[in-house]
Structure formats: C-alpha cells, structure tokens
Amino acid sequence: MLTFIRNLKLNIKVSLLGAFSVLITVAALLILATWESGLYNRLAQSEVNDLISADLDHITRSVYHLVQTENEAVQQQVDYNLNVARHIFDNAGEVELSLEPVKWPIINQYTKEVQVVELPKMMVGGQWLEQNRDLNRPTLVIDEITNLVGETATIFQRINDEGDMLRVATNVESLESERAIGTYIPAINPDGEPNPVVATILDGQNYHGRAWVVNAWYITAYEPLHDKQGRLVGMLYVGIKQKSIEARIRPAILQTEIGKTGYVYILGGKGAERGHYIVSKNGLRDGEDLWYVQDNRGRYTIRDIINQAISLKSGELGTIRYPWKNIGETESHWKIARLAYYEPWDWVIGASAYEYELQTFHAVLSDGRIRMMSVMFVTGIIITLLVGLIGVLIARTIARPVHEMQAFVETIIDGDLNQTVDIDSRDEIGQLARAFNIMTTRLRETLEGLHKSERFLNDIIENIPNMIIVKDAEKLHYVRFNKAGEDLLGYDREVFLGKSDLDIYPKEKAEKQVAEERAIVTSRQLVDIREERILTTSQGERVLHTKKLPILDKTGLPQYLLSISEDITEYLQADEERKRLVTQLEHSQRLEAVGRLAGGVAHDFNNILTGIIGYSEMLMPSLSENHEDYEDLLEIHKAAKRAAALTSQLLAFSRKQIIHPKVVDINDLIKDLGGMLKPLIGEDISYTFRPGEEIGHVKVDPGQMEQVLVNLAVNARDAMPSGGKLVIETDRVIIGEENQEHNRDAVPGEYVRLLVRDTGCGMDDNTCEHLFEPFFTTKEKGSGTGLGLSTVYGILKQNQGFITVSSSIGQGSIFKAHFPAVYDEVEGADSSKTEAELSSGDETIMLVEDENIVRTLTSKVLQSHGYTVLSASDGESAMAICREHKDEIDLLLTDVVLPGMNGLALLGKIRDILPDLKVIFMSGYTENVVALRKVLERGNHFISKPFSTRVLLQSIRDVLDKPLEKR
C-alpha cells in the first residue's frame, strides 16, 4: 500500500493529502462543534430556566410588596386620622352617658337581625349626638373629623356587658345612602369566634387593621372611649375603604405582563370572597366565583391554588402547575404559577404563564443546534469533494479559515462573546462562521438579560433600608455591602469589600465574630439575633435586629453568608417609653383603688361618726367637768373628731370630698393660720412668711387650704427633729408648654404658687417619686398614716392645681403647690349665730334619713331645741308624711342617699305638693356623684356628715330665717 502511494503522481498525492487533511479537519471540527454546541445549549437552557423562574419570583414578590406597601401606607394614614380624630374628640369635651334613655332599633351588621334596645343618650361635651341619619345634616364631632381627614369616622356606644358596639354617629353610608347609624358590631361573630375589633377594645387596646364595616372591608383603626369614671362606654373609629385602595393598585397589576400572554391575578382566600376573582386577566372576570369550577380532569383547580397559597408564610412563595382556559381560548393549556398569600387583605396573588410559551426558548436553542450540526455535516462532505478536485489550492484555502475558526472558538471558551468570525466566503466554513456568530449573539443577549436582572437585584439591595452584607462562605470576605450599611456604620463600603473582619476590627472582637459566623455556615441554618449592639461613627451606639443565613449552591454546599440587619434603636426606645407609661397607669390605678375604698366606706362611716359625735355632745352638758365620766366622754368625742378628720383626708386624697370653694386671698389665709402653725412646729424651728405682692386670688375651700398648710408644715417639722428653718412664700407664675416643670399634671396657665421650704434631712429621688402615694411614709411604724402628702396631692388635683417637690439628702426640701389664679373679688366670711340664737325654734321639720342612729340622734337634738320632728327612713314614707301634714311642714332635712329614690328626687316630688318648701341636704359621701353635684349646683343648702349639734342647729336657723326666694 505504501509502495502504491509512493508511486502516485504528486498532484494526486497533493489532492489526496488535501482531501484527507480536510476530511480529518472537518471531522474534528464537527466533533468539536457538537461538543461545544451541546455544552452551550445546555448552559443557555439552564440560564433561560433560571431567568424565567427569577422573573416569576420577581413579579410575584413585586405585586406582594406593592400590596404590602400600599396597606402599610394606608394604615399609617388611618393611624394619623385616628390621632386627628382623637384631638378633635378631646377638644369637643368629655364623653358621658345621660340618665335620659332613648330607644334604638339596632341591626346586626352580619346577620341583619333587628331588635329594639333602650340606651342612655351618649353626650360629648354636654351635647347629645342625636340619631342623625341624614348625610346633609351635620353630626357633632364626626363631620369635623371628616372635613380634616377626608375619610370615614364613627362613634360607637357600648350596648351591653358582652361588648356589642352600636354606631350612634357616623358618616359611613348604608346601602340606602344614609348614615349607617343603628347598625352594630356584635362581640361574637356569626362563626362563634370573638370579633377581633371588639375583643381588642374590651382589652383596653387600640385596634389597627382590616375590618368589615357595615357592608364593605375597610383599613381601620379603633380606640376605646371612656367616661370620666373610667368606664368603657364605646369606641372611636376611622377608616379607609379597601376598594378605593384596590383601585389605586389595580392598573399596576393589570399592566404586569409575563412573556407574551402571562398575567397576574388576585383571588379571595378565606373570607366571603373565597374563590372569587378580585383581579382577573384584563379585568374581564372580576367578581366571578371560581370555587366550584372544575378542569377537564374533574379537579377543583382554584381550590388547590387557594389551599396551597393560604398555607404559605408571610412573604413565602409557592409554585403550582395546572391546566387552564381563559375567555376566548378554544382549549386548555398547562400553566405554571408562582403563588403568594397576603393575609391582611386575604389576597391570593398568582403570577402565571403558559408552559408552551416558556418552552419556546428551549426549542429555539435546540433547533439552532440541530441546524448548525446539519450545516456542518453537509459542509464537511462538500469540502471533501471539492478538495479532491481542486487540490492543494483548496486545501490551503481551507486551512486559513480553519485557523480563524479555531481562534474564534478559543475566544468563546475564554468568555468573550463580543468577537465575530470575519469570513465572507459562502462555503461551509463561512456558514459555520455565521452559525457561530448567531450563537454568540444569542448567548450575548441572554447574558445581557442576566446582567439586567443583576442590576435590578442590585437596585433593590441598594434601596432596601436595612443593612445587607454578603460574605463568601469559605474565607468570610465581604463581597456585598449596601448603601444602608454605609449610612448606618458611617464607613464607605470600600473599607470592607474583599476583606474579612480580621482585617477591620480589633483581634478579639473579630475572632469572636468569625467563629460565630463560621458556626452559622457549618449549621446551614438561619440564626436570628434579636438585639445586637454596635458602635457607629455618626450615630453612636445602635441596636440591630440581625438575621444571618447561609446561601447554598445547587449541591447543598454553603456558598455565601447573607446578613440582614434592621436598626431597632428607636423601636426599643419607644418600647421603654411604653413600659414607663404602663407603670404610670398602674400607679394611677392604685391611687384610684384607694380613692374608691375611701369613697366606699365614707358614707356609712360618717353616719356612725355623726351618731358618736352627736350623742357625746348631747351628754357632755349634762355632766360637770369633775364628773368621773366626763373625761371618758370627752375622749370619745375627741376620738370621733380624729376619725372624722381621717375620713376627710381620705376623701380629700381621692378628690371626693364635699367642698365649698370661695375666692380668697391666700396671703390673708396664711397670716390667719400663722398663730396655729408656730406652736404646731415647735420652738426650735424658726418660721418665716414672705407674701408675694399682687399675685391674685385663688378659689378654694378655706378648710382645704388649712389642710394643705398644716400637712406641709408638719412634714417639714418631722424632717427637722433637731430644729431648723421653715419658710413659706407666695408668688405668681405662668406655666407654658415649654416649662411645665416635667409634671404631667401641669396645665399651661397662670398660677398662684405656695412654696414651703425647710432645712431638714432631705430625700433621695426614689423617695420623692413615691412621696404622694397613699400610705407611703418615711416615718417609723406607728408614727404616721402616710396620708398627709397624698391628701395635699388630692386637694390640689380637686382644685385643678398640682404640686411638685425638689429635694436632696442633707439639703432640705422645697414643696411647690400651684393653684389656678383668679381675679374675682374676695368673698366675705360667714357670720355665726350665738348659742342663744341657736337654742330654740318652734317650726316643724320633716327629717328623712335611712340610717337609724343618725335619724334618732337628729330627732332628739331638734326636739330638745323646740322643733317638731316628723321622721321617715325612705322616700316613700316621706311622701306619705308630706301628704298627711302638708300644711304643717316648714323645712325638709334629708340625706342625699336614700333607698329607692335619692334626696334630690324626693325634693322634686314633694315640691309638686309644697312648691315653696325649704330644704337642707346632708351627706357624708355618695357614690351618686351626679345627684350630689346637682344638689350643689342648684344652690341648695348642704351640711356634711359628721356634723356637730351647733352646725346642725345653725344651718337650720339660717335656712328658716332666710327670706323665701321666688322660683
């Protein structure tokens, strides 16, 4: 064979050499191209799949975050509206329930069940909210809120103990285009579960979120309403209709495209709209119920979608594959959809596309590869035949482009897709070159798409307000560091990129952090660091909430470590403020409990004391001072007086003391009390009074002012056991919003200030903080009741004033009592009659008192002084006596609190018979504060229990001798 070849002619040898050379070359290129094209085809298909998956994820998350952002923005607006509504409501005045009832036909907003109830009128600032259904007629408070915020508002009244809430004033429209008053929110929903709004309000908290209002969903905020006794009487609502919010985001959802025909849809998840289209393709099927729709296999596709979606966590995505046919389509096609569930709106979000559209890219790549291989195969055959004919020249011609193709392939392998094969020939080599050029162009476009997605992801990372750090899992070097991180730490990202913590931070701190992060990478689990304290260059110490998560590759090996940190410093500070306010609330509740205790026992206790004081005063004149029982009787009288003073202190502390305020000159009061204060504080303490000039007057019960001065003086005396100085000063001050002396009780205005200074032992901050609490004392056990300063505190609060204290150990103390200044004329002192003037009377007095000891005592006292007494224990008995003796009775002496009807109601009925009858009311304390206030407001004469015989007789003569006023 070799001999035969050796004997061939040179041109044949060249032809054969060229032919075989080209044949071998073509075969090699075909094999190489097959391998390379297969490699790039698989790579391109993988990249396309990733791009499609990322696009579906991105679109779904974008719609989810769009809805979430809109909801949060609207909720913030609603919360702002609630603040505005609260401000308007506070300015309108206190809320209270009138004693006058009104009938309400009420409708359950869920079941539409109608019933009629009778409720007290709800008053705001003394005005009834009425029953206004007309949108054109203004409603108190509600329309002012609407004018400011432009949205809906409602005032609810509590119907019953269960907590059903009735709309008594609103601008929410019913289906009849009226104000939707008369509808109510039941405490228990039709499904038997507690209504979340009512449950939150009954718990004393504000409700924020989505709620059903009359006949539609709203983004809402509710706040409890309490009357001045602290009872929950209703709630205040503001809200924005969810449909108006949907209208803002619907165009963005409808305009979102996925591929050629893919789209985003929204379905109802759990509630009444379960399985209904909320947003459909082009909006053509909005509102359609798909819950019972079956595909050609008999499966309930929509149920599968909803059941999978509602099981997802917040922000989590799911994937489902199902057959589907839209309006106008002749047959169903398989779709793939990304799902997310936004629970606050009960929305199932789906981003879907047909699979056959997604597979188009795969078909294009596969067809291109097959076409390229076919072209190369044909080219190889043609080249082989031509070389056999053309010989060495063709072989040389072929060799050059082959080298160029080789260089081009090497360039592609190196990753440079911007190069092209510059071969103009139309032979197989030229076609191969063009096929390569087409392939590289498509790959370049694919990579550009990847780069675009990367830029999009980078924009997201750079604009996220949380600090994001990415480190490589092997060496823990920084590879990503966003702008939020730069702003938080105060360092440029170039300080971190490419370095590890060992290159940046002190060794001990860096090694600890590297060890912790290495453990996270090894565990391959998310780690949630609730509070992480860091030191920044521009903001000082900050507290972060950090989550660290290893990012795994397709093989499950850690590739990166992702760290996301949220600055929660302000949140923690707000939480601390909330805890402080809770502590203040608990303190206020303790004070209120003591006040309730004081008021609860005062009525019965004062009745008992009235008997003790009265009987002792009746017995003392019958005994000489030398009698063996006189001293014991005197001690009984003194003890009863001290008990009455203690009760008075408790009532003063709880601001339930019955007082008779008058305009007085505080300087004159202090001067008059100076003689009493000096022996009270002792000779080893020097006393100085420094009255201010032109400071104005105060309106206060003189007896209360005496309590304030005595308690402050005694407190100062006890702080100076070895003697010292007591200085009392008065002046006028103006309290503004900017200088309220850090006292929550201070209201801006003009005050007359009473300063009590001592040079005693002083107190620390902790003692000052608890100083005005009831029963708190720094004295030894048995040396004090702990009510002195709490009584002062109660008196100041009762007179719209406040008190502050400043003190330090060894430096003495300064108490500053502030009374609102008035400039009315000082009222004159009451005149008192002599004992002789009080000793007799011949009038007939009807006495109404349910307490037997007080009734018996009062009858004896009056009868012993010449009066005729007709006594009764309740209102009905009194009315019977009045009818029988109506021409004899000159005066009605009645307790405010009586069984069956109170004293004021009794007077009203008696005056139907005796319109000009004179009256004196008496009471120690009454829970019926409204009745007692009306007694005093109407100018009726009133005496407080326990009272002395002298006070009783003088009051009766004052009223009987006073000329009758025209009514």
The string of pLDDT tens digits covering residues 629-652 is 777 777 787 777 666 655 665 555
Render pLDDT for 268-301 as a digit per residue (tens, 0 to 9): 888 778 888 888 888 788 888 888 888 777 788 8
- What does the pLDDT look like over 542-564, one tens digit per residue? 999 999 999 998 888 999 999 99
Query: In whole angstroms, what is the distance from residue 789 CA to residue 716 CA?
Result: 11
User: Looking up tokens 């003009």, which residue turns up?
Assistant: 750
- Total residue count of the chain as it appears in this document: 967
pTM: 0.36
Cα→Cα distances 573→171, 542, 543, 743, Å: 37, 11, 10, 21
- 131 versus 626: which is more confidently predicted? 131
pLDDT band at residue 183, thresholds of 50, 70 and 90? very high
- pLDDT for 897-929, tens place per residue? 888 888 888 988 998 999 889 999 988 764 444
The pLDDT of residue 174 is 87
Of 563, 464, 586, 567, give the one whose Cα is nearest residue 517.
563
Q: Phi and psi of 672, rounded to 5°?
A: -65, -30
Q: What is the pLDDT of residue 197?
A: 94
pLDDT at 188: 94
How many other C-beta atoms lie within 10 A of the C-beta of residue 899? Answer: 10
CB count within 10 Å of CB 488 equals 22
User: d(Cα 339, Cα 316) in Å, to the nearest integer?
Assistant: 8
pLDDT of residue 362: 61
The pLDDT confidence band at residue 400, using thresholds 50, 70 and 90, is low
Per-residue burial over 267-294, b if 16 or more Cβ lie within 10 Å, else e, is: bbbeeebbbbbbbbbeeeeeeeebeeee
DSSP 793-846: HHHHHHTT-EEEEEE-TTS-EEEEEEEEEE-SPPPPPPP---HHHHS----EEE
Residue with tokens 């303790």: 590
| Number of Cβ within a 10 Å radius of residue 668 | 12
CA distances from 479 to 272, 340, 473, 560 (A): 49, 30, 10, 9
Please give the structure tokens belonging to residue 954.
């003088």
Both tokens of residue 647? 């009760």
pLDDT in tens, 11-28: 565 556 656 666 777 677
* 439-460 pLDDT tens trace: 778 877 777 887 888 888 888 8
The pLDDT value recorded for residue 783 is 47
Q: Which residue has the higher pLDDT, 405 or 235?
A: 235
Strand ranges of the sheet holding 216-226, from the earlier edge strand across to the other edge: 127-128, 114-124, 95-108, 183-185, 165-170, 152-158, 232-241, 216-226, 207-213
Predicted confidence at residue 779, as pLDDT, reads 59
pLDDT value, residue 107: 94
Helix axes 142-149, 10-92, angle to 10 degrees: 150
The yes-or-no verdict on residue 470 having pLDDT over 90 is yes
pLDDT at residue 258, as a whole number: 81
Instruction: Give the C-alpha separation, 559 to 557, whole Å.
Output: 6
pLDDT at 360 over 70: no
pLDDT of res. 928: 47
Quote the pLDDT of residue 835. 46
Mean pLDDT on 385-397: 65
64 closest CA partner among 278, 221, 249, 245: 249
pLDDT score for 756: 92
Confidence of residue 49 (pLDDT cuts 50, 70, 90): low
> Would you place residue 680 in the very low, low, confident or very high pLDDT band (cuts 50, 70, 90)?
confident
Q: Is the pLDDT of residue 163 over 90?
A: yes
Over residues 590-636, the pLDDT tens digits come to 656 665 666 666 666 777 777 787 777 777 777 777 777 777 777 78
* Residue 693 neighbours by CB under 8 Å, 6+ apart: none
pLDDT category at 831 given cuts 50, 70, 90 is very low
| pLDDT for the residue 587 | 59
| pLDDT(516) > 70 | yes
Tokens 């992801």, residue?
457
Of 183, 196, 116, nearest to 155 by C-alpha is: 183
Average pLDDT, the chain: 81
Query: Taking 60 as the threshold, does the pLDDT of residue 773 lie above it?
Result: yes
Residue with tokens 């509602």: 310
Out of 78-87, 612-621, 879-888, which region has the weakest mean confidence (pLDDT)? 612-621
Is the model's pLDDT at 247 over the cut of 60? Answer: yes
Q: At what angle do helices 788-798 and 630-653 cross, to 10 degrees?
A: 50
For residues 134 and 491, the model is more confident at 134
Beta-carbon contacts of residue 780 (< 8 Å; ≥ 6 apart):
none
The stretch 207-224 carries a mean pLDDT of 89
